[in-house]
Homo-oligomer: A and B are copies of this chain.
Amino acid sequence: MATETIIKTLVRKLPVFSGMEEAAFNQLMSHGTQRIVPKNSAVFQQGEEADLFYLLVQGRLKVTQVTADGQQIIVRVVNPGDLFGFAMALGRKDYPGTPVALVDSSVLAWPMEMMSDFMARNPTLAVNTMQMIGSRLDAAHSRIREISTQEVEQRVAHAIIRLISEAGVKDEGGIRIDFPVSRQDIAELTGTTLHTVSRIISHWQGKGWVEGGRKSLLVRDLHRLQQIADSDI
């Protein structure tokens, strides 16, 4: 099928599958099933038994976790080409978070056993996966450092810069994030409240550095945000 071939070609180029033998790759692809995830719906729920692991082909997801007392945080944003829901690789049986589509998305899913089998037979895949998880660990540590040592304004600046670098698109007079992000989302990414985020963005807007909108944000002066993010003191 045409779409299948397109997807296959796309997937083939992903770093996780680099260095994998053609035969193995083909076998992998033949076992994956595609699924469309409409905006605002979840691929699976936190706590569910992890029987499948996923690859985001197209679209954008946010992975949220809810704490015992109902507070929510966004663990990360999933970009096209990212794997997610690989609970097994983390040595657990249930999904630790809930991935929600920020825009209509399309994912590929495989049975979790395939992952262990394939990794046992494809050391490259295992090493690649490990490095992917490793870089995520690195990112998590950066975030811990930020939340621990920086003030809210710096953290918000950082979060926005990160989103821009992952999904920034040029727009009239600036750069815009390619998918809808609410103030609440930014708050959950930075460990603060939507009120504080709103105040900060209003302030920036007053200075002309950004232009706010409903679930959107146009960055006019990225350099200035960088300064805010990096400012010592």
Given A126-B127, A127-B120, A191 contacting B134 (CB threshold 8 A) = no
Given A65-B145, A71-B149, A130-B130, A138 contacting B230 (CB threshold 8 A) = no
The reply on A228 being an interface residue by CB < 8 A is no
B149 touches A67 (CB 8 A): yes
Counting chain B CB atoms within 10 Å of each CB, the highest count among A69, A123, A138, A141 belongs to: A141
- Give the CA-CA distance A75 to B232 in the complex, in Å: 21
The reply on A135 being an interface residue by CB < 8 A is yes
- Give the CA-CA distance A141 to B120 in the complex, in Å: 27
The reply on A96 being an interface residue by CB < 8 A is yes
Those of A100-159 within 8 Å (CB) of chain B: 116, 119-121, 123-124, 126-127, 129-138, 140-141, 143-145, 147-149
B126 touches A130 (CB 8 A): yes
List of B residues within 8 angstroms of A89 by Cβ: 130-131, 134
The reply on A6 being an interface residue by CB < 8 A is no
The reply on A91 being an interface residue by CB < 8 A is yes
Those of A32-69 within 8 Å (CB) of chain B: 65, 67-69
Given A126-B130, A130-B133, A149 contacting B73 (CB threshold 8 A) = yes
List of B residues within 8 angstroms of A127 by Cβ: 116, 119-120, 126
B144 touches A144 (CB 8 A): yes
